[in-house]
Amino acid sequence: MGLWDKLKGELIDIVEWNEAADNQMLAYRFPRYNNEIKYGAKLIVREGQAAVFVNQGQLADVFQPGTYGLDTRNLPILSTLMGWMYGFESPFKAEVYFISTKRWTDQKWGTQNPIMLRDPEFGPVRVRAFGTYAIQVSDPATFLRQLIGTDPSFETYEITGQLRSLIVSQFTDAIGKLGVGVLDFAGNYSKMGAEIQLKMNDEFANMGLKLATFVIENISLPPEVEQALDTRTKMSVTGDMNRYTQYKTAEAIGTAAANPGGLGGIGAQLAAGVAIGSQMAGAMTGAAQAQPQASQVPPALPTAVSFHMALDGKPAGPFDLAALEAKVREGKLTHNTLVWKPGLANWVTAGSMPELASILANVPPPLPG
């Protein structure tokens, strides 16, 4: 720093911090050559600020919004530390930190990884959550001591990562202990938010901060689980066929009114809607009625195959397959033997009937010619 800067610093007798509208500073150290401040200098602390004096690394006086003349009356702690009994020489050395005490809103939080929960209805599920919060410096001295140290300009990004981790940890613990089903989350956002805010106030107070607001914007399930819930909802809605018919009717009216033909085609639209609803209702009713009958009435027993055969030039029978197989062994039933069964118009040879192929498999066919 040049000579002019040194002289300029000694001539300035107003200690203040003019915050820029878009700055993100939580704390700002007032710049002064060798930290020298003139005797009787004015300290201006604006609304939303606090000023903290530090002497050789030791915390001294804290000033709330207002205008102060820097003398032994307004600096009792610093006067004691410096050994000022009856006034002090000008200039004196001290560091002045301005702390922003305004509320910092619209800070974002969210779960980086899904949270595993045991839902009373669906069992194990994974959820994600996000929202906003607001912080405010409640104790400038503690805030300076715990977080700022010797940082000449402490900005919000330097603390928001730690705060997000703290919030997500407390949120995970609270949502696990609350025992609310995922379908009931929407009605308990405020309750969960208030409980989490209350739990985190002690943690924030240890840093000189206050969690001014905590808002849960959304708690969501994985996309595939949401699709399954949508399908379940659709099935529940279409299960009431009277409502489905009413819906199709109303839809037909709206479609017909929007068409260039006006309401001319409304009859067809209504008929289609009612027909679809009636068909679905009939199909579901028929299936519901048929299901008990199918399960209570046994099917008919299969009918045994039987044939009449020509035996010694006369019709004989009927014979079942076991009796016909015995006739094969006796040599009385061959491929050329005439047989008949109900449903045939005439007598046919046994070899032409597929039902008898298995029992005639070992009988040689007739000689050709």
- Please state the three-class secondary structure of 141-186 as a single string: HHHHHHHHCCCCEEECHHHHHHHHHHHHHHHHHHHHHHCCCHHHHH
The pTM for the full model equals 0.57
Q: Is 54 helix (H, G, I), strand (E, B) or coil?
A: strand
Q: Please name the CATH architecture into which domain 306-356 falls.
A: 2-Layer Sandwich (3.30)
Q: Please name the CATH architecture into which domain 104-223 falls.
A: 2-Layer Sandwich (3.30)
Asked if 29 contacts 95 with a C-beta cutoff of 8 angstroms, the reply is yes
In whole angstroms, give the CA distance from residue 50 to residue 141: 9
> Where are any strands of DSSP class E within 161-269?
209-220
How many CA atoms lie less than 13 Å away from 16 in the CB half-sphere?
16
Mean local confidence (pLDDT), 246-252: 72
Which is nearest to 133 in space by CA: 98, 171, 100, 99?
171
Q: Is 303 exposed, middle or buried (0-12, 13-18, 19+ CB in 10 A)?
A: exposed
In whole angstroms, give the CA distance from residue 230 to residue 232: 5
In whole angstroms, give the CA distance from residue 269 to residue 252: 5
pLDDT of 260 over the 60 cut: no
The single residue listed with the structure tokens 């001014």 is: 212
Cα 250 to Cα 5, 255, 278, 318: the distances in Å are: 81, 9, 15, 67
List, in order, residues 6 or more apart from 331 with CB less than 8 Å away.
Answer: none
Percent of the chain with pLDDT over 70: 75
pLDDT of 266 over the 60 cut: no
The single residue listed with the structure tokens 């002045």 is: 96
Lowest mean pLDDT among 48-57, 86-95, 222-231, 324-333: 86-95
Cα 261 to Cα 248, 253, 256, 286: the distances in Å are: 19, 12, 8, 38
In whole angstroms, give the CA distance from residue 366 to residue 362: 12
- pLDDT bin (cut points 50, 70, 90) of residue 292 is very low
* pLDDT tens digit sequence for 173-226: 888 777 788 888 878 888 888 888 888 888 899 999 999 999 999 988 888 888
All CATH 3.30.479.30 domain ranges of the chain, comma separated, are 104-223
Query: Residue 26's pLDDT is what?
Result: 92
Q: Within 10 Å of residue 252's Cβ, how many Cβ atoms?
A: 21
All CATH 3.30.1490 domain ranges of the chain, comma separated, are 306-356
